[in-house]
Structure 1
């Protein structure tokens, strides 16, 4: 393979997205303090409706309003109180980011749900998921692509020294491809989406935003071929859920970057976060099994928690981020 670079410094670590608590100023201070090589815009679902992954991402939809109804987001004629609250929370987060990241130079990651997870989670006005209607999915994808293009541009204006990376969270993608998304009754599932169709929708978003895109999927059977065909720069996955090494090895050999989820998102019974040595060892073991040169590891791989940390105690979440940071440095220094 010819010499290649990835959109982060060697030995970097980052978070997947969510953190515990409701104080966005403190969350951003933690991220910029513990993850200086690749900070991310943290998400705080504990703040309630509109701070959840679907509600927060619905803010980016252009000319497509949603509302919260009986605990679920659905398409609406106009946005209501919950969508306004989601917009207010995001604006507050971005204002805080402008202050916290003043003078920052380097890569900065932001996250949003991808089109397939949104389509599998948002209901049509007349019932059933958007996933049931291919036309609705196309409209959703185009709307999301336009909104995320504007969001990325806004981040770049607010933090002019940053190189923006976009992470698309697609936990539902394997279920969408395998016809495992249940219908409203729970008695049936929606028809499987073809891999080529899934990749085409993701590529529309990738092409629209114009920055490197990471596809995150904390589920077994991550569809790596779809991620590659979509033009993503990297995949983010939970190392404990990697079952087949050959597809991952092929993707890495082809140049796909990897955000390696190597630290548990929830504490073990003793409550202690893993050491940086253990986290680094977890990543190195997988890399050795794949058979790639050690020198390539710290350049192509970013160390992360296995998934978001919203369900963890605050002290554990901070310790995990620190362990990932130091693990990245270990891999760089001893790789």
Structure 2
């Protein structure tokens, strides 16, 4: 069993953050996001830097598409420049690295619920606009994967984690309109699945492994699998009864489950890897799976991103995920004795 981080970390130094990632979760390091650097570096800004054929600028209310190619605002150009600089740094610090590597982008529905159309209100309000956004994201992710492969040619397993914290709200019609007095109409499941499938298929067609992450309750895990997700990253504490069965089915099918069991914020009471290991083993017992059978297809992670944590806890949380993953086998033997 291995460990990894979800994506975000505190602080503003990409180099220091990535060194921590390499040191604490070396079996599956990830390219960190640092929202403390501003909107150009958070999940939305980082993903817009990847999207192909759509330009944007930053308004007081957040990111907005500009409506024409070649008309990116200053902040959009800065987001693209910062991403390139961070990838240069990743390339430099991973010279000769030949294991697995993970990167993250926002999913089409979280973007549609976050980014505005040129004339205002969310892209979610316009059927054609959200379709165009999903297709542009798919092409951008395709090019992004190719770029990573050029930079990290020895990586044997490349994972693209598509973050969809907004999907549940989109499906339930809970995304507020610009005025705040109404809610956007819910999107039906087939349309939601199709847009996700475009993005996940682009990842898979480039030889990478598509995961979907959400730490929002009510995310339809079966829909994610049906759209092509080969990995599901979840917060164990937010799962519904049906979710456990879906995750077990995914593991039995040879897919990956990243189980969020380490708190993203430092708990009031100290937590040890013994506690984390017990949570993982109890969950496996509940769904009727043997740790020896799932192996590295079960990944230990924090419950969500670590951007809101202190640096001390962020480092400790990643270390705790790693030590817990390594201890699961020993925990099984001890329980059987």
What corresponds to 1:7 in structure 2? none
Q: Which runs of 5+ in 2 are unaligned?
A: 333-337
Are 2:280 and 1:318 equivalent residues in the alignment?
Answer: no
SS in structure 2 at match of 1:258: strand
Which residues of 2 match residues 277-316 of structure 1 at below 5 A?
277-316=274-313
**Who is 1:109 aligned against?**
102
Output the TM-score relative to the length of structure 2: 0.92
Q: Given that residues 298 and 331 in structure 1 are in contact (C-alpha distance below 8 angstroms), is that contact kept between their aligned partners in structure 2?
A: no
1:64 aligns with 2:63: no
Aligned partners of 1:262 and 1:306 also within 8 Å: yes
Alignment equivalent of 2:134, drawn from 141, 149, 153: 141
Map residues 215-234 of structure 1 onto 2, 5 A cutoff: 215-234=212-231
SS of 1:19's partner is coil
Query: Could you tell me how far apart the structure 1 residues matched to 2:40 and 2:173 are?
Result: 28
Q: Deviations over 1:44-63 (max 9, x none)?
A: 11111201111111011111
Question: What secondary structure does 2:223 align onto?
Answer: helix
Structure 2 Cα separation of the partners of residues 332 and 198 of structure 1: 38
In the TM superposition, residue 247 of structure 1 has moved relative to its aligned partner by: 3.7
- Given candidates 298, 320, 324, the residue that maps to 1:327 is 324
SS of the aligned residue for 1:260 comes to strand
Partner of 2:30 in structure 1?
40
Measured in 2, the distance between the counterparts of 1:75 and 1:307 equals 28
Cα distance, 1:333 vs. partner?
Answer: 4.6
- The equivalences for 1:97-176 within 5 A come to 97-162=90-155, 163-176=157-170
Asked if 1 retains the 8 angstrom alpha-carbon contact of 2:250 and 2:257, the reply is no
Instruction: Determine the C-alpha separation between the residues in 2 that align with 1:297 and 1:256.
Output: 9
Superimposed CA distance per residue, residues 250-272 of structure 1 (whole angstroms, 9 cap, x where no aligned partner): 444444421000011011235x4
Alpha-carbon displacement from aligned partner over 1:7-37 (angstroms, at most 9, x marks no partner): xxxx110000011111111111111111111
Query: Equivalents in 2 of 1:104, 1:248: separation in Å?
Result: 30
8 Å CA contact 1:38–1:109 kept in 2: the answer is yes
Q: In the alignment, what sits opposite 2:183?
A: 189
Q: CA RMSD in A?
A: 1.4
Unpaired segments ≥5 residues, structure 1:
1-10
Deviation at 1:294, TM superposition (A): 3.0
The CA distance in 2 between the partners of 1:296 and 1:214, in whole Å, is: 21
1:205-243 Cα deviation digits (max 9, x unpaired): 111123111100011112111111111111101111012
The answer to whether the 8 Å contact 1:265/1:307 transfers is yes
Which position in structure 1 is the counterpart of 2:335?
none
State the Cα deviation string for residues 285-322 of structure 1 (Å, max 9, x = none).
Answer: 11111111232243321000000001101011001100
Corresponding position of 1:258: 257
| Offset at residue 329 of structure 1 (A) | 0.8
Name the structure 2 match of 1:86: 79
In 1: Cα distance, 2:197 partner to 2:303 partner: 25
Normalization by structure 1: what TM-score?
0.93
Which SS does the other structure have where 1:240 is aligned? helix
Question: 3-state DSSP class of the match of 1:302?
Answer: strand
1:212 aligned onto 2:212: no
- 2 CA distance for matches of 1:231 and 1:135? 23
